[in-house]
Amino acid sequence: MDSDDFRPRGVYAACITAFRDDESLDLDRLGRHIDWMLDAGVNGVMVIGGCGEYANLTPEERNTLVTAAVEIVGGRVPVVVGALAPSTREVLEIGVHAASAGADALLVLPPYYIKPSFDGVLQHFEAAAKETNLDLIVYNNPGRTGWPLSADHLVQLADIPGVVAVKECDRDMAVIQTKMAKLGSRTAMLSGDDDLGFYTILAGADGAIWASVNLCPKLCVDLYNACVAQDIPTALAIHRRILEVFNAWMLPNHPGPLKQAMAQVGRSVGPARRPLALMSEAELGRLTAALDANGPID
């Protein structure tokens, strides 16, 4: 899509990657899962992101998943592709394939581990936009990258043609509000942390990219719609249900605990790949209790 036409809004699924028990890709199960989320009213799908176990996939598997996701979605909603490599060259390889497959946008992180200057970060995003001709969603996730993008950083990144949105995982709501104020209408702001989504959308965010959509897509869509409608009692009640379950599965080894939660409610998508480990018995017990107390989760 042209950046003049594409501005992400609503609830996007940070889609899991489905595996068989032997950890090979399970495209049939992925297809059923995506169809189920779209039937619940999800507004977009983001594949091979952190929740999709980007770091646990080979380049060939990433390409296979992107091609499959575009075919499964079939133009019903936008498809965003995670290009989460620290190497600009690898981001370009992912982006070129995503563009050829028919994806709509890339989710791009600042390069991590190698610690570039901000000039290097700018060049990273500029190259991704220019060489792939895809729209970009800037992904601020300092907990994963060690690179906190400030409001001033985001304003400079928004000057790059093709940057259409920010997926924001800052944990400080005051900072998030400052960023929204400085960006204004130049880019969309998307909530990236499920537990802060209620507050971020009420503060004016355009939408969200959440992992919880894999477990309870309709609840996530209902939360967004209630926030937009300023129906605070309904939104708060839904938020509290999602939050209690989210806190029970958002643990080390993500998205492994999320996949175990999905299996608990009859939506199994297979295991997480090693080295992601299973929850302890105590953790699993707390998850079961949270699901029981807040069900039905769908």
Question: Would residue 167 show up in a list of annotated catalytic residues for this protein?
Answer: yes
Cis peptide before 59 (omega within 30 of 0): no
Residue 25 DSSP SS3: strand
Q: How many CB atoms lie within 10 A of CB 9?
A: 18
What tokens were used for 59? 């380049």
146: left (phi over 0), alpha (psi -120 to 50) or beta: left
Catalytic position from the list 54, 113, 130, 167: 167
The letter for the amino acid at 178 is T
Query: Is residue 286 classed exposed, middle or buried when 0-12, 13-18 and 19+ CB atoms within 10 A define those classes?
Result: middle
What tokens were used for 241? 């249900």
Phi, psi of 92 (to 5 degrees): -65, -40
How far apart are the C-alpha atoms of 273 and 12, rounded to whole Å? 23
Contact between residue 229 and residue 34 where contact means Cβ atoms under 8 Å apart: no
Measured between alpha carbons, how far apart are the two ends of the chain, in Å? 31
How far apart are the C-alpha atoms of 294 and 286, rounded to whole Å? 12
Catalytic position from the list 12, 54, 130, 139: 139
Question: Would residue 139 show up in a list of annotated catalytic residues for this protein?
Answer: yes
Q: What residues are annotated to the active site?
A: 139, 167
